[in-house]
Amino acid sequence: MAENQLGGQQVLVLPEGAQRLLGRDAQVTNIRVGIAVANAVKTTLGPKGMDKMLVSDLGDIVITNDGATILDEMNVEHPVAKIMVDIAKTQDKEVGDGTTSVVIMAGELLKGAGDLLEQGIHPTTIIRGYKMAAQEAGEILEKSSQTVKIDDDKTLHKIAMVSLGSKNVGGEDTKSMIADLVIRAVKQVMDKDASGKIVIDHDFIKVEKKAGGSVNDTQFINGVLVDKEIAHSGMPKSAANAKIALLDVALEIEKTETDARIEITSPEQMQAFLQQEDRILKDMVEKIKKSGATVIVTQKGIDDMAQHYLAKNGIIAIRRVKKSDMEKLARATGAKIITSLDDLNTKDLGFAGLVEERKISGEQMVFVEKCRDPKSVTIFGRGGTQQVVDELDRSITDVIGAVSSAVETGRFVVGGGSIEIELSAGLKSYASNVGGREQLAIQKFADALEAIPKTLAESAGMDPIDTLVQLRSKHKTKEGASYGVDIIKNTVGDMNKQGVYEPMKVKLQAISSASEAAEIILRIDDMISSRGKRGGGGGMPGGMPGGEME
């Protein structure tokens, strides 16, 4: 590709045929791709949002309305589409909810930027305006939020129910039951850092799932469910008031680190060798028995002979357990993970009121439950089909994120599109006080926020324009500040009275992520095919399969 001419001579920078998008073409294409990704998930927003069926090349089916899952499963190729997928993943990791909202907002911000570019506004001006708007929106959000305390189960339940509103996991009673389980789990695992701030590690709320039964069979386990069976048929199938040893050591004869050869020249030597192996394994079991352990869980293997001796001593053994499950067991039972049997003593053991193997849908699973004040718990999800339990798993994960966000910050806002209308009104007022062209970008930011109530209205079969007009009118008065889209009655209503609450942290993260993604995309004015990390010839990725380019 000829990049420039110097004294009539062409200067070649890129190879002939290299793909490149320059200036306005790059910006317009990127904006269109961003809008297409947003449109792909737009219809899933809200309690009356639709589901998407994603079918892989192998025929695997995923049915969901979870924004992050849809985007993660979609086969996107365009780099801008991947940026949009990344913001949904970030939203999911940070707060666990609001993944669809953040993508819709980012798409609307890009749409607004496209309009301003056509009017001759420079991308840098738009970016500066968007930064100002995001900061102002954060401040308005803080002022509009309300306080929630950790013991306010009623408000936390409402926050959980809003998160579950769009999920296809049963009726109101079922959702209410799931909300209560999640609140109980969050409260159980929460901790305080050095400054006294509440922190919740989602990793210590294990969500285990198994097809079979119904969603109503979902249960809370005050401990850890391990998807393994007891190692030996001769071992007890349950142990009450169990003393648990967690081992990161194999109960086997380990191979030498260097190559070694043992020469045996007679049957007696062979017998002596086997007896020595037997004694080593017996000694291992004796050390476990001496510690007082009635249950052992190890990350590694257990020799058949060691299993036999453990069974003879009435000790339950579970082997090849994942490291993540070992950490959860340590948090739940209070046991220490031991790397040498010589170090094992009574003080290192944990406690569980019951360790029991149960058959669930034809498979054996071990329940470690009734722990004393466990800092790791399990929610065991059930459902009629694999698709149902998969969606239940995603739903529970979202609710954990929503409740945790509310507990950690102690703040929530009124949902149903109400807070977005309030933010939009505040930003329009702010824009009129800002000099320069940045105010046009701030106004577009305000319009982008209105996409949330507009989409909620569309998914409920309401007229989106009429709904927006009514909401704007209501929000001009102090009494109407909490009015939003009433999905149930297909009208506008007071969301505060209906208890439609969402965590402030979810909204703040969505605004921040959507704004940053739009800013990154708007800064791009040149797309060049690169060599890639391995130094091979690269090509410009194509469009987004299945996405409508608008």
Q: Across-strand partners of 351?
A: 243
The 10s digit of each residue's pLDDT in 301-327 is 998 899 999 999 999 999 999 999 999
Residue type (1 letter), 327: E
So what's the architecture of 224-373 in CATH? 3-Layer(bba) Sandwich (3.50)
CA-wise closest residue to 201 among 376, 1, 344: 376
Sign of the alpha-carbon torsion through 262, 263, 269, 271: positive
The 10s digit of each residue's pLDDT in 364-376 is 999 999 999 899 9
Please give the DSSP secondary-structure letter assigned to residue 493. E
CA-wise closest residue to 155 among 480, 496, 393, 400: 496
| Gap between the Cα atoms of 396 and 258, Å rounded | 49
Say if residue 541's pLDDT is above 70: no
Cβ contacts of 197 within 8 Å, gap of 6 or more: 408
Say if residue 268's pLDDT is above 50: yes
Residue 255's SS3 state is: coil
Asked if 253 contacts 281 with a C-beta cutoff of 8 angstroms, the reply is: yes
CATH fold for domain 149-222+380-409: GROEL; domain 2 (3.30.260)
**Range from 40-54, 441-455, 521-535 that averages highest in pLDDT:** 441-455
Break the chain into its structural domains and give their ranges.
19-147+413-528, 149-222+380-409, 224-373
Q: Across-strand partners of 527?
A: 21
Q: Across-strand partners of 339?
A: none
**CATH number listed for the domain at residues 19-147+413-528:** 1.10.560.10
Which of the four pLDDT bands, split at 50, 70 and 90, describes residue 411? very high
pLDDT for 456: 92
| Gap between the Cα atoms of 542 and 128, Å rounded | 30
Q: How far is CA 328 from CA 41, 322, 514, in A?
A: 35, 10, 34
Choose between 73 and 224: higher pLDDT. 224
> Residue range 528-534: average pLDDT?
60
Say if residue 546's pLDDT is above 60: no
Query: Range with the lowest mean pLDDT among 154-163, 369-378, 518-527?
Result: 518-527
As a whole number, the mean pLDDT across the chain is 86
* Vertex 302: Cα angle to 300 and 303 (nearest 5): 140
Name the token pair of 135.
């900061």
Q: Identify the residue whose tokens are 């009429």.
A: 466
Which of the four pLDDT bands, split at 50, 70 and 90, describes residue 540? low
Domains 149-222+380-409 and 224-373 alike in fold: no
Which of the four pLDDT bands, split at 50, 70 and 90, describes residue 21? low
| Gap between the Cα atoms of 479 and 484, Å rounded | 12
Sign of the alpha-carbon torsion through 381, 387, 388, 394: positive
The 10s digit of each residue's pLDDT in 459-500 is 888 999 999 999 999 998 888 889 999 988 889 999 999 999
The 10s digit of each residue's pLDDT in 328-359 is 999 999 999 999 888 889 999 999 999 999 99
Q: What percent of the chain has pLDDT over 90?
A: 55
What pTM did the predictor assign?
A: 0.83
Name the token pair of 29.
């294409």
Say if residue 140's pLDDT is above 90: yes
The 10s digit of each residue's pLDDT in 54-67 is 888 888 888 888 88
Say if residue 277's pLDDT is above 70: yes
Which of the four pLDDT bands, split at 50, 70 and 90, describes residue 531? low
Which of the four pLDDT bands, split at 50, 70 and 90, describes residue 251? confident
Q: Across-strand partners of 245?
A: 296
Q: Which active-site residues does the annotation give?
A: 66, 99-100, 398
Q: Are strands 52-55 and 363-369 parallel, antiparallel or unpaired?
A: unpaired
> Residue range 259-279: average pLDDT?
70
